[in-house]
Structure 1
Amino acid sequence: MQNTPPPPSQARNPLHGLTLERIVTALADHFGWEELGQRIPIRCFTFEPSVASSLKFLRKTPWAREKVESLYLFMLRDIRRQNGGQAAPGESTD
């Protein structure tokens, strides 16, 4: 029987354990739909935006999901910078 190595640890991955819904909701709360649509100009953010329509599109569109995840990480860094290096509210510090 062959031993396989354990999967790499996700402890330092800030996206680990987060749902796409939580990410989209956090971005919409932080930036608002209008600014979110300016930062990532996709129809689900600019025309009758909602979490449900965004999730439907992002789950089928890897390049857009990558942009959303990247903006979320940027938002966390920006909040941390504003808080003097402290973790953003709701951010895991594991």
Structure 2
Amino acid sequence: MDNNSNNPMHGIKLEDIINTLVEHYGWEELGKRINIKCFNINPSLKSSLTFLRKTPWARTKVEKLYLSLKKKI
């Protein structure tokens, strides 16, 4: 049995998650919701991807925010 079918994040790229969040909230609001430097100081997609790929706790926060946004939409 495929365990990925139970994972709501399966098949969703981190880049797409960040782009969706930035499109909805903007960098400033995103930085307020998740207080990490890559969202607050010279934010960019590249710096965010680099940081989130190396930092599991931050990626988890971003994924939770994304999932809660998707439930609202």
User: What is the alpha-carbon root mean square deviation over aligned residues?
Assistant: 1.2
Q: Give the equivalent residue in structure 2 for 1:92.
A: none
Corresponding letter in the other structure for 1:61: T
Q: Tell me the distance in 2 between the aligned counterparts of 1:12 and 1:64.
A: 22
Q: Tell me the distance in 2 between the aligned counterparts of 1:59 and 1:16.
A: 16
Deviation of residue 78 (structure 1)? 1.3
- Give the length in aligned residue pairs: 73
Q: Structure 1 stretches of 5 or more lacking a match?
A: 1-5, 80-94
Q: Give the equivalent residue in structure 2 for 1:68.
A: 62
Q: Tell me the distance in 1 between the aligned counterparts of 2:9 and 2:2.
A: 16
Q: Give the equivalent residue in structure 1 for 2:30.
A: 36
Q: Structure 2 stretches of 5 or more lacking a match?
A: none
Q: So what's the TM-score if we normalise by structure 2? A: 0.92
Q: Tell me the distance in 1 between the aligned counterparts of 2:15 and 2:8.
A: 15
- State the secondary structure of the residue aligned to 1:16: coil
String of CA shifts for 1:32-73, please: whole Å, max 9, x gaps: 000000000000000110110000000000000000000000
The answer as to 2:7 corresponding to 1:13 is yes
Q: Give the equivalent residue in structure 2 for 1:77.
A: 71
Q: Tell me the distance in 2 between the aligned counterparts of 1:51 and 1:14.
A: 22
Q: So what's the TM-score if we normalise by structure 1? A: 0.73
Deviation of residue 12 (structure 1)? 4.5
Moved segments of 4+, more than 2 Å: 10-14
